[in-house]
Structure 1
Amino acid sequence: MREIKLKDGSTLIIKEGNRSHAKEMMKYIDAISTESDFLTFGQGEFNITLEEEEKFIESVSKKDNAIFIVAEIEGKIVGNLSFSGGGRPRIAHTGEMGVSVLKDYWGQGIGTELIKYLIHWSKESNIIKKINLRVRTDNVSGIGLYKKLGFVEEGSIKRDFFTDGKFYDSLCMGLLID
């Protein structure tokens, strides 16, 4: 667990998620699905049950090469990050992350702190040697954040996202962990 003072003076707590976070995560997912077109899902497209969310969080906690973390302010989930490494020995050292923050909390450094937590955890794991992500090419602030934290561009995928009748390309980025 990490406690961080944010730009606005509030205290952010970042910690590993557990089964008890599932219900609030369902509300969080519902909220963020309406706030950004940069996610891989939109409103009503993340169709899982509370039981499925509990099982997901529980399964992540049992893996040495996966982590699910939440960012809370005054007990409310305002951001989250998930990372999962490969399931076979040849790819167990690398995986993909996804990160999101509620719109009301954008610009306060929460995404940065979540990714820093992941990087620190990856180094401590002695398993994870590479973090991958995909970001829409028009998500300029996201790309800037990832570059600031050391991620490099590795390629692009054409027509990776389809939102509101339009295709979007994505940028593949990676960070090597020493």
Structure 2
Amino acid sequence: MDAVTIKLAGPEDAAKVLAFLRQAATESNAVQVPHLLDVSLEQEAENIKTINQFDDCVVMLAILGDEPVGIITVMMLADHPEVGELGVVVEKKYWRNGIGQLLVDEAEYWFENYSSLKKLVLSVFADNSPAIALYKKLHFKETGTAVEDGRPALVMEYQPEE
């Protein structure tokens, strides 16, 4: 089997990113991308291009062969520009194969070495115990609770050991 590689998403990846996210949204209710079906190829290419111009946002893809099997985003929170929110999506048939960990590791490295952000946070549905276990393993600590899409969620913050 081919190895999974991680790459920074570029505007040329827009079609594959949209197709991947639209497929993933049918596989999991954890994919929370507003207006996903309304985004055009041109809009997505422009979104990725814009994201790549800032050091407080990033989109990276896990690639197997030449197709994305996972994506990770860090987006600055509009009301807290010093905080980035982590989002992780892995294609369902590749769950529990280490791709999520690979992506989160890469995002943590980016956060520590390239980002201007002060905090890295995420929210995860409270019933998603495999994801919660992964995030805890990768130095995320519970900092609160929330309700997302009418469901209980945990808020977690990256807190690497000193």
8 Å CA contact 2:86, 2:120 repeated in 1:
yes
Larger radius of gyration: 1
Q: Which moved more, 1:25-34 or 1:13-22?
A: 25-34
Give the whole-Å Cα distance in 1 for the aligned partners of 2:110 and 2:26: 30
Residues 1:102 and 2:94 are matched in the alignment: no
Give the whole-Å Cα distance in 2 for the aligned partners of 1:47 and 1:174: 31
SS in 1 for 2:38: coil
- Measure how far apart 1:124 and its partner are: 0.8
Amino acid at match of 1:23: A
Percent identity over the alignment is: 27
Question: Match of 1:74?
Answer: 65
1:148 pairs with one of 134, 137, 144: 137
- Measure how far apart 1:64 and its partner are: 1.2
The TM-score with structure 1 as length reference comes to 0.83
- Measure how far apart 1:93 and its partner are: 3.1
- Measure how far apart 1:129 and its partner are: 2.6
- Measure how far apart 1:39 and its partner are: 2.1
- Measure how far apart 1:97 and its partner are: 1.1
Question: Match of 2:10?
Answer: 18
8 Å CA contact 2:84, 2:120 repeated in 1:
yes
Q: For residues 25-76 of structure 1, what are the alpha-carbon distances to aligned partners after superposition, in whole Å with 9 as ceiling and x for unaligned?
A: 111112101101222259x854211111111101110001111100101111
- Measure how far apart 1:86 and its partner are: 4.5
Count of residue pairs brought into register by the alignment? 161
8 Å CA contact 2:125, 2:154 repeated in 1:
yes
> After superposition, where does 1:1-178 map in structure 2 within 5 Å?
9-40=1-32, 46-86=37-77, 91-125=80-114, 127-158=116-147, 160-161=148-149, 167-176=150-159
Gaps of 5+ in 2: none
Q: For residues 111-131 of structure 1, what are the alpha-carbon distances to aligned partners after superposition, in whole Å with 9 as ceiling and x for unaligned?
A: 101010011111112522311
Give the whole-Å Cα distance in 2 for the aligned partners of 1:171 and 1:131: 14
8 Å CA contact 2:8, 2:61 repeated in 1:
yes
Amino acid at match of 1:26: L
Question: Match of 1:4?
Answer: none
CA 1:46 to 1:170, structure 2 compared with 1: closer, same or farther past 3 Å?
Answer: farther
8 Å CA contact 1:38, 1:139 repeated in 2:
no
SS in 2 for 1:93: strand
8 Å CA contact 2:56, 2:115 repeated in 1:
no
CA 1:172 to 1:83, structure 2 compared with 1: closer, same or farther past 3 Å?
Answer: same
**Runs of 4+ residues over 3 Å off in structure 1:** none
Give the whole-Å Cα distance in 2 for the aligned partners of 1:34 and 1:133: 21
